[in-house]
Amino acid sequence: MSKKLIAGNWKMNGSLAANEALVQAMLAGIGQPPAEVALCAPAPYLAQLQALLQGSPIAWGSQDVSAHEQGAYTGEISVAMLKDFGCRYAIVGHSERRQYHGETDEIVAAKAQRALSSGITPIVCVGETLAEREANETESVVKRQLAAVIHTVGHCITEIVVAYEPVWAIGTGKTATPEMAQAVHAVLRAQLAAATTNPKRVHILYGGSMNAANAASLLAQPDIDGGLIGGASLKAADFLQIVAAAG
C-alpha cells in the first residue's frame, strides 16, 4: 500500500469567501503531507479549487458524477466536465445519495465505471444502516454494494477507492470503534482479494465521523487506508491533524 489517503467531503457547505479562507489555512499548514490529500467540493466551487490548489499537494474532486456521458440530463454533471476542472476524484454512492436520491447499487456501479473511463478515480461509498447492523446484516450489505461495482468495472477494480461509511455514524458523532471498523474493512479487503491479485492497491477509507481525536486509533488499523472526512474537513486545524495522523 502506498501512502494513506485523506479526502475531505464538504457536502453542501461553503461559500467563495469561506472556501478561500479554509483552503489558504490548509495550504499554510500542510507542508509536505505524509498522506495523499484531496478535497471534494460542491460543483459550483470546483473552478475555485482548481485555481487555489493547482500545483499544491492537495488534489480535488467532486461529490458526484453522472452515469451518462452527455445529453438531456438537466442538473447532471458529466465526467468530461469534471475533467475540465482538473478533478482527480469523484465520490459515488454516498449514503446520502442512496438515501435521498434513490441511487441503487447498479447506478453507483455505472457512475464508478463512467468516472474510470475518463481517468477520474471514483471513491465508492458502502455502508449499513443502524437497522441493518442490529440485524447482523453489515457484512452482506457492504459485500452486495461492492459486488455490483466489481461486476461492472471488472479488471479496473484496482483503480477505485472504497470508503466504508456506516450510515449510523455519519454526522451523528457516533463512531465505530477501531476494531469494529477494521472488521468490516477486512471483509472488504477479502472481497477485493477474490477479484484481483493486488487487493492492497485499493485504498479502503473509513468515513464515519472520523475526527482529530479518533483519527490516529482508526488509521492504525491494518486495513484502514485513510479517511473520508465530513465535518472535520470544514476546519483547517482539525483536517490537518487528521492528515498528520496518517503519517
pLDDT in tens, 6-41: 999 999 999 999 999 999 999 999 999 999 999 999
Contact yes or no for 165/95 (Cβ under 8 A): yes
User: Whole-number mean pLDDT of the chain?
Assistant: 96
Residue 90 predicted with pLDDT over 70: yes
- State residue 22's pLDDT score: 98
- Scan for cell 445519495, then name that residue: 97
Query: What is the percent of the chain where pLDDT is above 70?
Result: 100
Per domain, the residue ranges of the chain are: 5-245
Residue 76 annotated as catalytic: no
> What's the average model confidence in pLDDT over 190-197?
96
Residue 84 predicted with pLDDT over 70: yes
> What's the average model confidence in pLDDT over 77-84?
98
Which cell numbers hold the place of 194? 477474490
> What's the average model confidence in pLDDT over 127-137?
94
Residue 176 predicted with pLDDT over 90: no
Q: Which of the following is catalytic: 96, 103, 165, 185?
A: 165
Confidence of residue 169 (pLDDT cuts 50, 70, 90): confident
Tell me the CA distances in angstroms from 225 to 107, 139, 160, 207, one per residue in order. 25, 19, 13, 11
Which residues neighbour 101 within 8 Å (Cβ) at sequence distance 6 or greater? none
CA–CA gap between residue 30 and residue 63 (Å, rounded): 23
Q: Which of the following is catalytic: 94, 132, 185, 203?
A: 94
Which residues neighbour 234 within 8 Å (Cβ) at sequence distance 6 or greater? 8, 10, 13, 22
Residue 69 annotated as catalytic: no
Confidence of residue 1 (pLDDT cuts 50, 70, 90): low
Number of other residues whose CB lies within 10 A of the CB of residue 178: 17
Which cell numbers hold the place of 167? 450510515
- Cα R_g (the chain), whole angstroms: 17
> Max alpha carbon distance in the chain (Å)?
47
For domain 5-245, which CATH number applies: 3.60.15.10, 3.20.20.70, 3.30.720.210, 3.40.50.300?
Answer: 3.20.20.70
> What's the average model confidence in pLDDT over 191-219?
95
Q: Which amino acid is at 46?
A: L
Query: What is the percent of the chain where pLDDT is above 90?
Result: 94
Which cell numbers hold the place of 158? 484496482
Give the DSSP letter string of the chain: --S-EEEEE--S---HHHHHHHHHHHHHHHSS-SSEEEEEE-GGGHHHHHHHHTTSSEEEEES---SSSSSS-TT---HHHHHHTT--EEEES-HHHHHHH---HHHHHHHHHHHHHTTPEEEEEE---HHHHHTT-HHHHHHHHHHHHHHHHGGGGGG-EEEE--GGGSSSS----HHHHHHHHHHHHHHHHHH-S-GGGS-EEE-SS--TTTHHHHHTSTT--EEEESGGGGSHHHHHHHHHHT-
Annotated binding site for substrate: 9-11, 171, 209, 230-231
Residue 55 predicted with pLDDT over 70: yes
